[in-house]
Amino acid sequence: MRICGFILAAGLGTRLRPLFPDQPKPLVPLGGRPAISWALSFLESCKVSRVIVNTHYRRERMREALPRLVPPGVDLVLSEEESLLGTGGGILNAREHFRGFDWLVVVNADILADLRPAPHFRRAMKERADVHLVLSTRGPESERGRIGLRPSGNLWFGGEEREPGIRSGIFLGIHFVRPWVFEGFALEGAPSVIDLYRKMRGEGLRIRGSFTRAFWIDLGTEDGFRRALEHLAPPPGKGPGAGG
């Protein structure tokens, strides 16, 4: 089985500019390593043979740094965007690089999650999903009510009529996708990937999901970044140079 990874990393990172004025968000230091390396480690655990990273802001720095961060034996492809294409547009723009793979594992560069991918990946395959999203019940109130899971296992999108038994969640930006589903969609309009999934479901594709209780943080805000640093900090007495 051939698996390709995709890291959405083209955002401007404006909310972190007060902390890192000149640094692209995926390269800010987090736990002794560039933030994007946590996403790369996640994809390595998925046994990807290729990683695609879309870039925009300060992409020359991304171009220089990323080859040193990719795990050995994994092919790196940079999809550089002259203008921002949105989460869906960024994936559509790179279609030629993941055609022929069996699965595409998409992650956001600005999400840190203590998540084991295997249970969700197995469920996606067992349910013969075309798209499988990972959701959490924990997260910012501003994100609630946008997505959820129907009793049938199919996704519910905010704005649609609610039915009994819908479990609301927050999308972690982690999705397991059959690559062919992105064929036939136009790049114009900087679409969001959620809008694309709405359309796919309307065309009869199986858009599924599962919940995780794993710890996760949005790294895109100052508060989230500081909480991530606290989470990754070694316990008292276990730091560098500690006795024992």
> Cα separation of 87 and 92, whole Å?
9
Q: What is the dihedral of CA 79, 81, 85, 86, to 10 degrees?
A: 60
Strands (E), 16-166: 29-30, 33-34, 50-55, 75-80, 103-108, 111-113, 131-136, 147-149, 155-157
Structural domain contains residue 76: yes
Q: Is the pTM of this model over 0.75?
A: yes
pLDDT at 243: 40
Question: Is 28 within the bounds of a domain?
Answer: yes
Determine, yes or no, domain membership for 238: no
Residue 142 lies in a domain: yes
Percent of the chain at pLDDT above 90? Answer: 61
Q: How many domains does the chain have?
A: 1
pLDDT digits (tens, 9 = 90+) for 166-224: 999 999 999 999 999 999 898 887 689 999 999 999 999 999 999 999 999 988 788 88
Domain extent, residue 170, equals 3-232
Number of C-beta neighbours around residue 18 at 10 A: 8
Asked whether residue 198 is domain-assigned, the answer is yes
Contact 30, 219 (CB under 8 A): yes
Q: Is the pLDDT of residue 58 over 90?
A: no
CATH value at residue 225: 3.90.550.10
- Residue 95 pLDDT > 60, yes or no? yes
Give the DSSP letter of residue 70. Answer: S
239 belongs to a structural domain = no
Looking at residue 244, its amino acid is G
How buried is residue 229: exposed, middle or buried, by Cβ count under 10 Å (0-12/13-18/19+)?
middle
Average confidence (pLDDT) over 112-133: 95
Q: What digits encode the pLDDT tens for the residues 147-160? A: 999 988 899 998 78
- Mean pLDDT (the chain) is 88
What pLDDT, in 10s, does the model give residues 201-211?
Answer: 999 999 999 99
Q: Is residue 237 part of a domain?
A: no
Q: Is residue 241 one of the residues assigned to a domain? A: no
